[in-house]
Structures are given as structure tokens and as C-alpha cells.
Amino acid sequence: MAQEREHSVERTLVLLKPDALARGLVGRIFARFEDAALKIVGTKMTWMDEEFTRRHYFDLEERLGPEVYRLADAFMRQGPVIALVLEGFDAIATVRKIVGSTYPNEAPAGTIRGDFSHYSSAASIASGKAVANLVHASGNRAEAEQEVALWFGKEELHDYRTLAEIYTY
């Protein structure tokens, strides 16, 4: 008998990358999360500098190599990003499902990346540019906690009730 997974209210970080802002997709992307009854408890718009990019992608160079890190750094610093903290039941997995696969050409229709992008790993290699995949989403609970703390102070996160909570929490 499979043990039922514990459901809990979680917080997770999402970044709308410079390509999402440049393409005017911010409202449509926000709506995807709100449509899923995820609550926005923190948001800000900012430019990432070299130091902050290094702190956010602290292990990327080690995991994927210096060239991948260089591309990600240049991509994330080409325009502003919007950071948001979303809250809800199983928010981390829910956001990952809504966002879709890292490579947009592999993301199913109905996901943010599957609907709004088509970029592939091969295109990234051929062009020498980072994968333009619109959003970053925390991968697991530990990563979400670390990223939320990096991007937001406690005073920047808000507790309030939504109508969706009356029916879902």
C-alpha cells in the first residue's frame, strides 16, 4: 500500500526572467499561478548584478560548467527580473508542473514554457546563448527555502487570506 504523501502549505520562489518581461508575458504568467489558487505573498522587480547572480546560481558552475554559468549570468543581467513568492498546498511541485520542463521544446502544451517558448538545448549550444525559458522555479523544499531567504526579507512577505483559501485550505 502506497503511503499517502503529506500535503502542506509551502512557499516557493519564481523568477520571471528578462525574456518574459521583454515579451510582455508578465500578466499572463501571473494569471497561470493565480488560476491554480496559488497566493502571491511577495513580489519585487529588480536588476541582478554580478554578485547577486553568483549568490542565486551558487552551484551552477560546479554542476554544469563555467560556460553554462557565463551564459546564465549574461542572460539574467540583460534586463530586469520579477521575483515572487507563491504560497499554497504543495506549491513547489504545483509551480514546477505549471512551468514545464527546463527546455521549452520538451515542455508539454498547457505549461508556461510549452505555450510561450520553443527554445532547445541544441539551439542554446548553436547560438551561444542561454536557454530563454521565461521563468525560474525552485526545484525542491530546501532550494525554495534558501532562494526565498536570498530574495526576500521577512518584512517583504505578507500573510493575508484569499477567497480560494476558504475552499482549499
* Nearest Cα to Cα of residue 143 among 78, 60, 79, 24: 60
pLDDT at 7: 64
User: Which pLDDT does position 60 carry in this prediction?
Assistant: 86
Q: Which domain holds residue 68?
A: 9-159
| CATH number of the domain within which 59 lies | 3.30.70.141
**Predicted local distance difference test score (pLDDT) of residue 6:** 52
Where do we find the cell 508542473?
97
- Position 147 in a domain: yes
Does 8 have pLDDT greater than 90?
no
- Is 4 part of a structural domain of the chain? no
pLDDT band at 29 (very low <50, low <70, confident <90, very high): very high
Annotation marks residue 136 as catalytic: yes
Which residue has better confidence, 169 or 85?
85
Domain count within the chain: 1
> Which residues are registered as beta bridge partners of 9?
89
Classify residue 168: in a domain, yes or no.
no
Check residue 119 and give its pLDDT.
Answer: 86
**Residue 78 resides in a domain:** yes
Q: Please give the model's pTM, rounded to 2 decimal places.
A: 0.91
Is residue 1 in a domain? Answer: no
Residue 167 placed within a domain: no
Domain presence at residue 3: no
23-37, 74-88, 99-113, 114-128: the lowest-pLDDT one? 114-128
pLDDT tier for residue 3 given thresholds of 50, 70 and 90: very low
Question: Pick the catalytic residue: 7, 56, 136, 158?
Answer: 136
How confident is the model at residue 72, as a pLDDT? 92
Asked whether residue 100 is assigned to any structural domain, the reply reads: yes
Mean pLDDT across the chain: 92
